[in-house]
Amino acid sequence: MYGPADAHTSTDALVAGVIAAGGVPVLLPVVPAEHAAVQLRGLDGLVLAGGQDVDPESYGRAPAADGAWVHRGRDEHELALLAAARTAGLPVLGVCRGLQLANVAMGGDLIDHVDGHDAGARFALDLHPVSVEEGTLLARATGGGELAVNSLHHQIVGSLASGLRPSAHAGDGLPEAAEALEGPWLVAVQWHPELMGDAPGGQDLFDALVRESSA
């Protein structure tokens, strides 16, 4: 036994989603932000995965309290990855935290807590409907209409960045997805498509990312 140690990880489901779409996943460990662009060399697309809360300091609020589930180094790294991916013209899929991070990166902010949005172990059963906006990249990827999606978050998009447009809403009017108004393909969703199998809004998002990465 070597005792507890930090690790750089990705869920099996996220890796499997990329593979099932015909892509070859490459895991990018957290490194100093100045190295992010180097990590993207030779890659064709980027997934911003779920995970820790985005530190409020990233969008102009007071830093998170001690003990909060944040990783400032990861925030800085992924903000740099997203900027480098946009500069390089790479398509980007944001998953849960990935939507929140993209919104912050482009000038928006977050609501740091909402009740009743984390289904926990019941995520596969406690689905909720979201309505996809017609004519969006998300509609093209999923077929549009109404999707039944999971909910594993407690932070949500607050003020939407001016460079993004909402592409899906929940019944309470809260944004559940957004995408870039211009520039390289960027679609970000509040749910976890890697946990939805072949249901609309699940594997089809990875398929769309790999398609765009191969174009």
Q: Rounded to whole angstroms, how far apart are CA atoms 11 and 4?
A: 19
Check 78, 96, 179, 212 and give the catalytic one: 96
Q: Rounded to whole angstroms, how far apart are CA atoms 176 and 191?
A: 7
Candidates 137, 147, 132; CA nearest to 180 is 137
62 CB burial (10 A radius; 0-12, 13-18, 19+): exposed
Check 71, 77, 153, 192 and give the catalytic one: 192
Handedness of CA 122, 127, 128, 132 (dihedral sign): positive
* Position 171, amino acid: G
List phi, psi (to 5°) of 6.
-70, 155
* Position 24, amino acid: V
Q: Which two tokens mark 127?
A: 């689905």
Annotation marks residue 96 as catalytic:
yes
Annotation marks residue 192 as catalytic:
yes
Show which residues are catalytic: 96, 192, 194
